[in-house]
Amino acid sequence: MNLKRRATSVVNYIKFIYFLSKGIFGSNSPEVVLKMICKFVTLEAPFYSNKIVMGRSMQKSIELLSVLIPSYIETKSEITLDQILEVLKREFLQRESKNYGRKQF
């Protein structure tokens, strides 16, 4: 890993721990967990591949997730929750599982 990547990882880790401490601890709300997942994906997005998966780039996938999560929080729709899980499974995990994602150390 190069120095810039390590520094960015440390900053992202600190940001994520900050948001985690502000949101999850003391809360048993599933909405907070979804917000944390979205925050994590947003912070780590620059380290994922920009290859097109399911017809979307990484940025478009993040935008979709950023729209679906508030929609679920507002409506509590099972269909929206299923869409969130599909986006996570097919667009983010698929990038990682096929070595399209960021490099492992």
Distance, CA of 51 to CA of 81 (rounded, Å): 25
Distance, CA of 79 to CA of 57 (rounded, Å): 23
Backbone angles phi, psi at 103, to 5 degrees: -75, 140
**C-beta separation of 37 from 62 below 8 A:** no
pLDDT band at 78 (very low <50, low <70, confident <90, very high): very high
pLDDT band at 82 (very low <50, low <70, confident <90, very high): very high
Comparison of pLDDT for 1 and 72, the residue scoring more: 72
Interval 40-77: pLDDT, tens: 888 777 777 777 777 788 888 888 999 999 999 899 99
